[in-house]
Amino acid sequence: MAMRIFETDPDAKPRGTFSDDTVGRFHSGKQDEDGTPVALDEWRISTGDPEVASAVAQLFGGTPEETETDKENFIIVDTAAAKVKVIVDGASAISSDLKLWNGSNLIHHCDGVDFLSPEEDKGKPCRCPSLMVDRKAAAKVKRGPSPSISVLFRLADDPDLGIFRFQSGSWKLAEVLYEVENALDRIGTEALCSLELERVEYTTKRGRDVSYIKPVIRVLKAWGDAIAEPKH
């Protein structure tokens, strides 16, 4: 299932351009002690396996730290890597929809056009705003759903370590996700990709400095082609 946010607002579409058997997760942010969300410049990786934690720390830097949590992935590694090469097994490794939560309760679940749940509403119009700008405005004040994007992958530097997941609610990623999926479809097999945290900085016409970090997925080449290349 995928988002259908451009069906109702095609002009907003940028131009030119699962099983849950995972060993860990990649995170682009964290929460401060007071619960305030904080974006990260380098990837944070969580896992419940000490061997996996040790391996990713050796690959990307950082020190495994156990946290006091009831979550399965209780070991955190704050890496020194903003870019990580990963292997994505086609567009089917990516799933996306739109969700609005009230605490732990899912109160709206759709693809941007129709409801995906609950079962009695599945397929009915979700009545989300048509225009992208209105979707974002509604989500910002918790009156509309936000993207829920999931990517499954293996590490190019250690494929046998297992499958990792990256979960994101980024509108910036949602806007270009179709490009990533199309690129994966063109390759048609496992693809070498770069999973990145990219800082964007600019000054508005009114002189306000803007800075934010966005997750980026770059599809590079078929994995088979990558491993066939001679090593230097």
Give the model confidence (pLDDT) of 147-165 as tens digits: 999 999 999 999 999 999 9
Alpha-carbon separation of residue 43 from 49, 52, 106, 195, 223 (angstroms): 18, 15, 27, 9, 22
The H or E element that residue 53 is part of is: helix 50-60
- Tell me the average pLDDT of the chain: 91
pLDDT tens, 101-125?
998 899 999 999 999 999 999 999 9
Reported confidence tier of residue 62, pLDDT bands at 50, 70, 90: very high
**In the structure encoding, which two tokens stand for residue 1, read together?**
């299932």
The model carries a pTM of: 0.87
| pLDDT at 8 (0 to 100) | 80
For tokens 């934010």, name the residue: 212
Facing residues of 196 across strands?
83, 216
Residue 228 pLDDT greater than 90, yes or no:
no
Angle at CA of residue 7, ends 4 and 8, nearest 5°:
110
Tens digit of pLDDT for each residue in 195-204? 999 999 999 8
Please tell me the distance from the alpha carbon of residue 193 to that of residue 107, in angstroms, as a whole number.
Answer: 34
User: Which residues, 6 or more positions from 119, have their beta carbon under 8 angstroms from its beta carbon?
Assistant: none
Phi, psi of 220 (to 5 degrees): -100, -55
pLDDT of res. 17: 35
Whole-angstrom distance, CA of residue 219 vs CA of residue 46 = 24
